[in-house]
Amino acid sequence: MPTIEIKDNFDYVNEIWKIADYVRDTIKRSEYNRVILPFALLRRLECALEPTREAVVKALKKHEAKWGRESSNYCQYSGKAFFNVTSFRLNNLGATDTLEALMAYINGFSPNAREILLRFKMEETCKTLQEKGMLYEVCRRFSTFDLNPENVSDREMSNIYEHLIQRFGEEIAEDAEDFMTPRDVVRLAIGMLFANDDELMNSDKGIVRTLYDPTMGTGGFITDALDLLDEWHKVKKMIAPAVIVPYGQECEDESWAMGKSNLLLRNVGDTQQDQYNAIKDLSAHIMLGDTLMDDKFADSTFNFILSNPPYGKKWEKQKDSVEEEAKLGFKGRFGAGLPSIDDGSMLFLQHVVSKFAPVEKGGGKAGIVLSGSPLFTGDAGSGPSNIRRWLFEKDYIDCIVKLPSEIFFRTGISTYLWILSNKKSADRKGLIQLIDASDMKTTMKKPQGNKRYCISEEQINWIIRTYVDGHDHGKSVLVPKDAFMFRKVTTQRPLHMAIIVNENRLNEFFDLKPMTKFSHDNKAILKAALLRSTEEELPYDWASTFAKEIRRSMVKPEATPAELTKAILDVFGVKNKKYDIVLDKNGKPVPDPDFKDFENIPFGTSFEDYMNKEVLPYACGTWIDESVMDKGPLQDGEVGVVGTNISFNKYFYHYEQPRKPEDIAAEILDIERGLESFMEGFLK
């Protein structure tokens, strides 16, 4: 029997990775995760079940005829939320028919555990290892790792998984860590999510709350939220602290399997729990599927929601489903509007809000990590702008934190943590807090991909305190939600135009499409009439009068008066302020299309005051086109289209003194001298 490696100072990650190196020439590097992750999980399950293994086997012999092999009743004997009814271990599968024995072993697990293992596509990989005579050795090596819950806690096992995934990402797959949210970001989001919830933190009456992650990846948000709450409750030595029931959905098979297994295995190392908690399956509500296309919790709402949706990911695959649901308006999840097909993050933003529990059932609060684009992308009336407008009007946005750059594994871009709620306190209603935490970062000793910085515990606490206290200082402001909204009004200026028929432009005139319809004779009549009017400054309305009269001279004129009038104006119309303002039949100024413009007028500002101050001093005669009104699913029928924009620079811009020109010049000269010296040495 192989010797079990004892945990004391044992480097599990490197030792497990040695097995990946062992299969290097047999298994593709891109498929290492199909070996190291499922076998590590299988060994953990095996170690957790070891103390009660024989009890389950005996129970099977006694109850199989009545219960079958997959009844949850066997959990009473395993003492866990899962079980295995076989006598197999990784160290007794045999060297000849290893694959057959291994699959029998896996199929002997309870459905919740077996489903996870099979999602890793193990059988195909193990067939390859069996053909090369390596499967038995892989099983033997994994069987030597002591992953017993008494020696490796739930938290330590989660760390092993995370480090294996990071190692896989660093050495093999560019996108392996895309679904991993760094722990410091997770802790910050959870701390802000639970902040101000006195009942959750202090109630000792066994209240139940729900926590949901629609883009859960490997489940870091959920497991850390449960861990953090347990830590807080243990300090207070509670008898019946608040209970969190986790829910989640993930579309990538292996990420889902890791996340579900983390919750299935949760508490296997907690010897203080009672039997009921020991056999409770916390992974029961972890679903596989695409959240945008196939919401597995369509009829559910939640008290807490955490999400880190993919940045800048196209939603082409989900397009048909999303657009079909959008037709339902606010009866569906996407009633406020649709973003650009290039970035679906604002679809997840709407999805998250749609999952808020009603206030009478405890309300809902969410933390969602997004890139910068949801703050400002989209013109007034566009899908993104309308989504923000809806959030403002519903007063769902509580706080937005600008996070430091270079704190994620696969991107160095600026990111933002949005805190949303449908149960804001009375003193924060109508207000949105912006926190600039971009400087809250600590340099890491060893970068991990793009992650060069982390947010320290002290910095996390500073951000949370700033949020809880509602500080209004140099790094934090509380802003009325209307401050992020404006009306985009269309402005017009009067047309000053006369008509001057220029002989040199006749060819251009007759090349216009409507003019090409005329017969040869009709063209001759039209040309002669135009030549009689050359070089005169004719009034604007001459064009329509001329068009009607000249058609009477033609035989079956092929162009309408309107087409002829437009052609004359397009070719022979001359704009100049010395000419009179053109008036329509109602005596109102005709707008000059070349001077059509737009103004973004902040909410609460009088149109008249704005125009008098910002426009008319520089463009006399400009007026607001009142025919352009608000439109879309949130329309209010007022003049101007409502737009939205959240600008951190407006509140946290810090002027930096530019470098002195003489310093820049001196630096350039130094570089040139250095280059000359280099070339001299190179050419000698």
Of 121, 93, 160, 166, residue with least CA distance to 28? 121
Alpha-helical (H) ranges within 154-219 are: 154-171, 183-194, 198-202
For the cut 90, the answer to whether the pLDDT of residue 593 exceeds it is: yes
State mean pLDDT over 505-527.
91
Q: What is the pLDDT of residues 342-356, one digit of tens each?
A: 999 999 999 999 999
User: How many Cα atoms sit within 13 Å of 364 on the Cβ side?
Assistant: 22
Using CB atoms within 10 Å of the CB of residue 365, give its burial: 0 to 12 exposed, 13 to 18 middle, 19+ buried: buried
Per-residue pLDDT band for 682 (boundaries 50, 70, 90) equals: low
State mean pLDDT over 265-272.
65
pLDDT of residue 563: 93
Query: pTM of the prediction?
Result: 0.85
Helix 220-235 / helix 253-264 crossing angle, nearest 10 deg = 20
Q: What is the pLDDT of residues 428-444, one digit of tens each?
A: 999 999 999 999 999 99
State mean pLDDT over 86-93.
94
Q: Considering only 41-55, 86-100, 167-181, 331-345, which range has the smallest mean pLDDT?
A: 167-181
Per-residue pLDDT band for 276 (boundaries 50, 70, 90) equals: low
pLDDT of residue 476: 95
Q: Provide DSSP, 478-542.
A: EEEGGGGEEEEEEEE-B-BEEE-B-GGGHHHHHTSTTGGGS-HHHHHHHHHHHHTTBT--EETTH
Mean pLDDT taken over the chain: 88
For the cut 80, the answer to whether the pLDDT of residue 403 exceeds it is: yes
CA distance 409 to 446: 12
Count of beta carbons in the 10 Å neighbourhood of residue 602: 12
pLDDT of residue 330: 93
Q: What is the pLDDT of residues 120-177, one digit of tens each?
A: 888 888 999 999 999 999 999 999 999 888 888 776 777 787 777 767 655 544 444 4
pLDDT of residue 177: 42
Of 621, 634, 635, 630, residue with least CA distance to 601? 630
pLDDT of residue 533: 86
Q: Considering only 297-306, 412-421, 609-618, which range has the smallest mean pLDDT?
A: 412-421
CA distance 295 to 251: 11
State mean pLDDT over 497-514.
92
pLDDT of residue 181: 80
Q: What is the pLDDT of residues 463-480, one digit of tens each?
A: 999 999 987 778 999 999
Q: What is the helix (H) or strand (E) element at residue 443, kind and residue range?
A: strand 442-448
State mean pLDDT over 619-638.
91
For the cut 80, the answer to whether the pLDDT of residue 180 exceeds it is: no
User: How many Cα atoms sit within 13 Å of 37 on the Cβ side?
Assistant: 35
pLDDT of residue 300: 96
State mean pLDDT over 32-55.
90
Per-residue pLDDT band for 187 (boundaries 50, 70, 90) equals: very high
Cα 359–chain centre separation: 25
- Our separate counts of H helices and E strands in the chain read 26, 18
For the cut 50, the answer to whether the pLDDT of residue 529 exceeds it is: yes
For the cut 90, the answer to whether the pLDDT of residue 597 exceeds it is: yes
Asked if 88 contacts 108 with a C-beta cutoff of 8 angstroms, the reply is yes
Per-residue pLDDT band for 250 (boundaries 50, 70, 90) equals: very high
pLDDT of residue 203: 79
State mean pLDDT over 507-520.
90
pLDDT of residue 296: 97
pLDDT of residue 6: 47
Count of beta carbons in the 10 Å neighbourhood of residue 680: 9
